[in-house]
């Protein structure tokens, strides 16, 4: 007989308690415990019986090394973030804000794979809604099957009937199994359904794409075990007021997590941005102060990005500090460096910083462009149009070296820039400078860079 057990589970972190409590002792959330009924089957055999073991340990030298076969998704940006394509039997989780374009991205990938049979299971939209979306994107592929279903058991029946090459679940928070007596989206349902899909993917070799919701903190909703058991966790981010979308890999067992995919949201779907530098740079900032161009790198992709700053006299007693697309704490640190090491008084001024295009950049090499744009706005002096820079700024005012400086220089040269300021410790061999047609200027401290940019002023 199946034993029925009732426990209280925190819907925020997944902690269990034998009775209801008001505040979760693990995450500190209030009124998050919900009663859930769990059935536990009585095992027929003892788990400690050594005769039932189906595998045995082997030396690591005896394990045969094989290359993972990848499926081409016919999307260069999606392939890059995945590490080269979909791996057979992998479980991929895609999360993002509501309305950011998660379903559009996955459906567009499914329609592009004309040589693969794709089963798209939607628990949020009807089949007619998916048809309307596919017509808006492009001509529907003949090998893409769609179904509206929320029962995990029925999904496995559809998989058995269709025999697909790829399975898409949209979304994991809407799927429920009859073995857990709780509502869809609860910690228990998400954990049980994701574990069953993981077992199916590993046994059948069919890759499964999961779309997940996120909570108000920005992390993927559900238990943390969901991110642990999947092979790849993708984050689809971007401001809905901008047309650009960024695809990042927070976890990837088959590739690097430093890759970045850039898409542009259009009326007929998502368009891949092959050269983001040309789109992220505005062409009408000549003669305007507070604009500096930085050579940044995300993953293996170099691109030039525009840093915009506005410095004005504080209207109130406490000056304002605002940053969009850049860490506000790092901006405050750079302002302290400007005041302490370079002698510029910004304590009584409002500072507003913006990274053009709605991107969030974490590359420390854009520090030099950040302080240059702030100083340009404070002095109301415009920079030269054909000059860019790359360098990390230390607390003592030194310009620290950055990685892969040659790719940054080549990207600036390709886009027609005439000068680039780099740290003095990068490219220390003088013969390397002769390979570039762009003028490479080295600077040890921020004062050296300011002297080049602003002259005697």
Residues 396 and 443 in one domain: yes
**pLDDT above 80 (res 351):** yes
* Dist. CA 83–CA 79, nearest whole Å: 6
What is the percent of the chain with per-residue pLDDT over 90, rounded to a whole number?
A: 45
* Dist. CA 20–CA 10, nearest whole Å: 10
> Mean of the pLDDT values across residues 346-363?
87
Predicted confidence band of residue 152 (pLDDT cuts 50, 70, 90): very high
Predicted confidence band of residue 283 (pLDDT cuts 50, 70, 90): low
* Dist. CA 152–CA 213, nearest whole Å: 18
Let me know: does 445 contact 379? Beta carbons within 8 Å. Answer: no
**pLDDT above 60 (res 210):** yes
The model's pTM is 0.73
Better-predicted residue by pLDDT, 290 or 429: 290
Other beta carbons less than 10 A from residue 297's beta carbon: 22
CATH number at residue 119: 3.40.50.300
The domain of 14 spans: 3-44
Provide the domain count of the chain: 3
96 is in an annotated binding site: yes
> Angle 102-112/127-137 helices, nearest 10 degrees?
70
**pLDDT above 50 (res 444):** yes
97 is in an annotated binding site: yes
- Beta carbons within 8 Å of 224's beta carbon, 6+ residues apart: 13, 14
pLDDT of residue 13: 77
Residue 126, Cα to own-chain centre: how many angstroms?
28
> Mean of the pLDDT values across residues 365-394?
93
Within-domain flag for 50: no
Residues 257 and 128 in one domain: yes
Residues 338 and 227 in one domain: no
- Beta carbons within 8 Å of 456's beta carbon, 6+ residues apart: none
pLDDT of residue 182: 80
Within-domain flag for 64: no
pLDDT of residue 395: 93
pLDDT of residue 46: 40
Within-domain flag for 57: no
**Range with lowest mean pLDDT among 7-16, 81-90, 173-182, 199-208:** 7-16
**Residue 37 — φ and ψ, nearest 5°?**
-100, 130
pLDDT of residue 282: 64
pLDDT tens column, 87-123: 999 999 999 888 889 999 999 999 988 889 999 999 9
Let me know: does 180 contact 38? Beta carbons within 8 Å. Answer: yes
* Dist. CA 15–CA 9, nearest whole Å: 6
From the number of C-beta atoms within 10 Å of its C-beta (0-12, 13-18, 19+), residue 246 rates as: buried
Predicted confidence band of residue 457 (pLDDT cuts 50, 70, 90): very low
325 is in an annotated binding site: no
Residues 335 and 427 in one domain: yes
* Dist. CA 298–CA 307, nearest whole Å: 16
**pLDDT above 70 (res 58):** yes
pLDDT of residue 48: 43
The kind and range of the H/E element at 170 are: strand 166-170
Residues 115 and 188 in one domain: yes
**Range with lowest mean pLDDT among 44-58, 133-147, 181-195, 423-437:** 44-58
Residues 264 and 317 in one domain: no
pLDDT of residue 42: 46
Residues 231 and 152 in one domain: yes
**pLDDT above 70 (res 384):** yes
124 is in an annotated binding site: no
CATH number at residue 380: 3.30.230.10
Residues 440 and 324 in one domain: yes
Within-domain flag for 406: yes
> Mean of the pLDDT values across residues 55-80?
86
pLDDT of residue 2: 52
- Beta carbons within 8 Å of 219's beta carbon, 6+ residues apart: none
Better-predicted residue by pLDDT, 352 or 341: 352
pLDDT of residue 428: 64
Within-domain flag for 18: yes
**pLDDT above 80 (res 362):** yes
Predicted confidence band of residue 54 (pLDDT cuts 50, 70, 90): low
Better-predicted residue by pLDDT, 168 or 46: 168
State the virtual CA torsion across 409, 282, 108, 136 in degrees, nearest 10: -160
DSSP secondary-structure letter at 129?
H
Other beta carbons less than 10 A from residue 7's beta carbon: 15
Residue 274: closest CA among 70, 76, 118, 72: 76
**Residue 269 — φ and ψ, nearest 5°?**
120, -165
Residues 217 and 250 in one domain: yes
**Beta-bridge mates of residue 355:** 307
The domain boundary, picked from 249, 274, 299, lies at 274
| Three-class HEC string of 29-93 | CECCEEEEEEEECCCCCCCCCHHHCCCCCCCHHHCCCCCCCEECCCCHHHHHHHCCCEECCCEEE
pLDDT of residue 35: 81
Within-domain flag for 142: yes
Better-predicted residue by pLDDT, 66 or 406: 406
Residues 140 and 187 in one domain: yes
100 is in an annotated binding site: yes
> Mean of the pLDDT values across residues 272-278?
79
Let me know: does 376 contact 292? Beta carbons within 8 Å. Answer: yes
Residue 387: closest CA among 435, 444, 453, 436: 453
Q: What is the C-alpha radius of gyration for the chain, rounded to an integer number of angstroms?
A: 27
* Dist. CA 126–CA 119, nearest whole Å: 14
The domain boundary, picked from 241, 274, 307, lies at 274
Other beta carbons less than 10 A from residue 284's beta carbon: 6
Residue 294: closest CA among 378, 397, 402, 398: 402
**Beta-bridge mates of residue 266:** 269
pLDDT of residue 38: 65
Within-domain flag for 26: yes
**Range with lowest mean pLDDT among 276-290, 293-307, 422-436:** 422-436
405 is in an annotated binding site: no
Predicted confidence band of residue 40 (pLDDT cuts 50, 70, 90): low
The kind and range of the H/E element at 407 are: helix 405-414
pLDDT of residue 366: 95
pLDDT of residue 202: 93
Report CA-CA distances (Å) from 362 to 282, 304, 365, 367: 21, 14, 9, 10
Residues 303 and 374 in one domain: yes
Predicted confidence band of residue 370 (pLDDT cuts 50, 70, 90): very high
Question: In the predicted model, what is the mean pLDDT of the chain?
Answer: 85
Residue 141, Cα to own-chain centre: how many angstroms?
28
Residue 36: closest CA among 201, 181, 252, 238: 181
Residues 368 and 250 in one domain: no
The domain boundary, picked from 222, 252, 274, lies at 274
Within-domain flag for 53: no
> Mean of the pLDDT values across residues 122-144?
84
């Amino acid at each position: 007989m199946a034993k029925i057990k009732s426990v209280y589970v925190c819907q925020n972190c997944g902690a269990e308690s034998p009775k209801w409590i008001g505040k979760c002792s693990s995450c500190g959330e209030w009124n998050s415990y919900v009663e859930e009924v769990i059935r536990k089957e009585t095992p027929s055999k003892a788990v400690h019986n050594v005769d039932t073991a189906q595998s045995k340990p082997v030396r690591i030298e005896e394990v045969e090394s094989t290359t993972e076969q990848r499926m081409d998704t016919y999307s260069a940006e999606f392939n890059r973030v995945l590490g080269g394509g979909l791996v057979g039997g992998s479980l991929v989780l895609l999360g993002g804000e509501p309305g950011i374009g998660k379903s559009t991205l996955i459906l567009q990938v499914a329609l592009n794979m004309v040589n693969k049979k794709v089963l798209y299971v939607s628990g949020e939209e009807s089949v007619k809604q998916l048809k309307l979306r596919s017509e808006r994107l492009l001509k529907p592929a003949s090998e893409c099957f769609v179904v509206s279903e929320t029962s995990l058991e029925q999904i496995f029946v559809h998989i058995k009937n269709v025999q697909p090459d790829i399975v898409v679940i949209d979304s994991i928070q809407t799927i429920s199994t009859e073995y857990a007596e709780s509502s869809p989206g609860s910690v228990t349902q998400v954990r049980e359904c994701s574990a069953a899909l993981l077992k199916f993917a590993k046994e059948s070799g069919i890759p499964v794409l999961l779309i997940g919701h996120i909570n108000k903190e920005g992390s993927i909703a559900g238990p943390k075990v969901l991110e642990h058991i999947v092979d790849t966790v993708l984050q689809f981010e971007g401001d809905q007021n901008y047309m650009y979308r960024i695809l990042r890999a927070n976890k990837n067992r088959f590739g690097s997590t430093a890759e970045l995919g850039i898409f542009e949201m259009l009326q007929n779907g998502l368009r891949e941005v092959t050269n983001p530098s040309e789109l992220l740079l505005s062409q009408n900032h000549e003669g305007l102060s507070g604009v500096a161009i930085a050579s940044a790198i995300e993953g293996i992709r170099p691109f030039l990005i525009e840093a915009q700053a506005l410095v004005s006299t504080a209207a109130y007693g406490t000056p304002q500090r605002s940053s969009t697309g850049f860490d506000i704490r790092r901006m405050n640190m750079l302002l302290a460096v400007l005041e302490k090491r370079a002698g510029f008084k910004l304590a009584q001024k409002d500072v507003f910083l913006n990274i053009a295009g709605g991107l969030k950049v974490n590359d420390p090499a854009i520090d030099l462009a950040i302080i240059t744009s702030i100083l340009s706005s404070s002095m109301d002096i415009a920079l030269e149009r054909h000059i860019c820079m790359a360098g990390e700024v230390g607390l003592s005012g030194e310009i620290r070296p950055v990685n892969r400086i040659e790719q940054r220089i080549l990207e600036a040269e390709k886009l027609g820039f005439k000068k680039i300021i780099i740290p003095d410790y990068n490219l220390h061999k003088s013969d390397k400078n002769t390979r570039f047609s762009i003028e490479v200027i080295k600077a040890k401290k921020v004062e050296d860079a300011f002297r080049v940019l602003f002259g005697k002023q």
